[in-house]
Amino acid sequence: MLGKVNHIAIAVPDMAAATATYRDTLGAKVSPPQALPEHGVTVVFVELPNTKVELLEPLGDASPISTFLEKSPAGGMHHICYEVDDIVAARDRLAANGARVLGDGNPKIGAHGKPVLFLHPKDFFGTLVELEEV
């Protein structure tokens, strides 16, 4: 069911500083910031040869990243995203096996313009999991 790792997401308190660190200190290619109001975040993707790192900054007061940063003010790993061929089939299989899909259970369009779902971290050893249909 799972494909490759699409990206690893890191919540950051200062997008400009985080982007500069990845670009200038580590020499990585970074995308321009992209606001995703439906998800309450602004994202930047760090392009790597084998995957991406997604930097997340809160967008608005109701952002789930604001809550994350209250607990971890310096930022930190937020989630890991795996690719799947059929997100609805993956959701149904996971739900049948007791995994909890966050939100209303229906895919939303993510930063790459593709359907995504998030799975409850308590069902995956403390790790928030995102699935993205490819």
Catalogue the active-site residues.
130
Helix, coil or strand: residue 81: strand
The CA distances from residue 123 to 41, 82, 94, in Å, are 24, 15, 10
Neighbours of 89 (CB within 10 A): 12
Distance CA 4, CA 94 (A): 18
> Could you say which DSSP state residue 99 is in?
P
CB proximity list for 77: less than 8 A, separation 6 or greater: 8, 9, 10, 11
Closest among 35, 45, 38, 37 to 10, alpha carbons compared? 45
